[in-house]
């Protein structure tokens, strides 16, 4: 085992797959810009835009940042904690809507 | 031999494979990215909180130039991510000259982003009279949060361009390895990723119809 060297061959996407991801990201961006000009209620718009952004982020992390091809333990070490912390920050969000309705209209 | 030394010599762990099968540089960059992601999350959260709780939050982003500019900026960053992936790909195949060319293309897109962003800032400052502490709509928090958030992101892009410049220079001179290019790529993709949240939350949510 001591003389064993890890294979240097890196598994990853191909040029074509990267181009597909890039095109998908551009299309998703186009959909976001289109949605911005639809007359949607603020909260629905926020949810839709955030949902699309999360998909875009996942594509970038999985393919461009190569995480799809890394050991699953790396993902488990990094991301559940990040998601949990972000969700904890969201605990304040309902207050923002409440503050709006409680404000005295002048 | 002291007792402590004996324990050290007989240690079960003998080095060898790293737990995640990646180098320490790459793991270090991942940890930095996660902590930076939390910083940006907190800023975005603060921005969204204030936006939702302020009744007359301004919508200064008209289609031309603001939304068109920010869309082109998004295109620049997405394309720069593609060229960066190509640079890492080329380095993986040992093609150093192609790596340098792809990194230079990434830097050009990055600089394009910064140029467009600064133009957009100047448009807001000069035409819409938005400054970090004041604006015509009486919501000074808009300027404060907007410039803090986009300013921090732009700082990351500028640092990224400098970082890539150093990597390209060294790779061109036959220095650095595949991992170094890959780690710089991770940073660059992260900068792109953050913009994927700033663009809809800040620009599209405040587009003037």
Query: For B28, which residue in chain A has the nearest alpha carbon?
Result: A78
Q: pLDDT, tens digit, for every residue of B144-164?
A: 999 999 999 999 999 999 999
Q: Which of A39, A52, A64 sits opposite B85 (nearest CB)?
A: A64
Query: Roughly how many angstroms between the first and final C-alpha of chain A, as a whole number?
Result: 77
| Structural domain that includes position A90 | 15-102
Contact B21 A70 (CB under 8 A): yes
How many C-beta neighbours within 10 Å does residue A20 have?
14
- Which of B47, B110, B199, B209 lies closest to A31 in space, CA to CA? B199
Band of pLDDT at residue A5, cut at 50, 70 and 90: very low
Is position A58 within any domain?
yes
| Residues whose CB falls within 8 Å of the CB of residue B135, separated by 6 or more in sequence, listed in order | B58, B60, B128, B129, B142, B143
- Residue B91 to residue B125: CA distance in whole angstroms: 42
Q: Which residue has the higher pLDDT, A100 or B39?
A: B39
Instruction: State how far the Cα of B42 lies from the Cα of B115, in Å rounded to an integer.
Output: 26
A5 assigned to some structural domain: no
Chain A hits for B69, Cβ within 8 Å? none
The residue in chain B having the minimum alpha-carbon distance to the alpha carbon of residue A105 is B55
A62 in contact with B, Cβ within 8 Å: no
B194, closest residue in chain A (CA to CA): A57
Residues of B in contact with A3 (CB under 8 A): none
B15 and chain A in contact, CB less than 8 A: no
Judged by a CB distance cut-off of 8 A, whether residue A75 touches chain B is no
Q: What percent of chain B has pLDDT over 70?
A: 92
Number of domains observed in the structure of chain A: 1
Enter the ipTM: 0.88
A19 and B78 within 8 Å at the Cβ level: the answer is: no
Q: In 3-state terms, what secondary structure has residue A83?
A: helix
The more confident residue out of A105 and B122 is B122
Q: How confident is the model at residue B77 (pLDDT cuts 50, 70, 90)?
A: very high
Is residue A77 pLDDT above 70, yes or no? yes
Question: SS3 for B129-186, per residue?
Answer: CCECCECCCCCHHHHHHHHHHHHHHHHHHHHHHHHHHHHHHHHHCCCCCHHHHHHHHH
pLDDT tens digits for range A78-92? 999 999 999 999 998
Is B204 near chain A, with CB under 8 Å?
Answer: yes
Mean pLDDT value of segment B116-134: 92
Q: Chain A residue with minimal CA distance to B206?
A: A36
Domains observed in chain B: 21-206 (1.20.120.80)
Q: Are B175 and B84 in contact (CB under 8 A)?
A: no
């Amino acid at each position: 085992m001591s003389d064993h060297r890890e294979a240097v061959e890196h598994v990853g996407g191909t040029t074509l797959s990267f181009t597909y991801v890039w095109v998908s990201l551009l299309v998703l961006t186009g959909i976001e810009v289109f949605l911005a000009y639809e007359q949607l209620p603020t909260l629905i718009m926020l949810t839709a835009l955030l949902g699309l952004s999360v998909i875009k982020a996942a594509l970038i992390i999985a393919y461009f940042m190569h995480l799809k091809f890394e050991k699953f333990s790396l993902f488990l070490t990094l991301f559940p904690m990040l998601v949990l912390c972000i969700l904890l920050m969201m605990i304040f969000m309902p207050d923002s809507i409440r503050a709006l309705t409680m404000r005295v209209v002048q | 031999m002291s007792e402590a030394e004996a324990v050290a010599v007989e240690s079960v762990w003998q080095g060898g494979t790293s737990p995640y099968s990646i180098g320490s540089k790459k793991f270090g960059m991942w940890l930095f990215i996660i902590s930076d992601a939390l910083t940006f999350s907190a800023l975005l959260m603060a921005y969204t909180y204030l936006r939702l709780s302020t009744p007359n939050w301004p919508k200064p982003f008209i289609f031309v130039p603001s939304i068109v500019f920010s869309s082109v900026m998004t295109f620049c960053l997405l394309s720069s991510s593609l060229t960066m992936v190509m640079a890492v790909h080329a380095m993986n195949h040992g093609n150093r000259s192609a790596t340098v060319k792809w990194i230079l293309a990434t830097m050009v897109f990055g600089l394009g982003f910064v140029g467009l962003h600064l133009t957009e800032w100047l448009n807001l400052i000069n035409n819409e009279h938005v400054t970090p502490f004041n604006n015509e709509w009486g919501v000074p928090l808009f300027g404060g949060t907007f410039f803090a958030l986009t300013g921090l992101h732009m700082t990351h892009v500028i640092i990224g361009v400098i970082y890539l410049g150093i990597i390209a220079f060294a790779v061109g001179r036959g220095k650095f390895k595949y991992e170094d290019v890959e780690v710089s790529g991770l940073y660059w993709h992260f900068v792109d990723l953050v913009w994927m949240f700033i663009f809809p939350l800040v620009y599209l949510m405040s587009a003037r119809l």
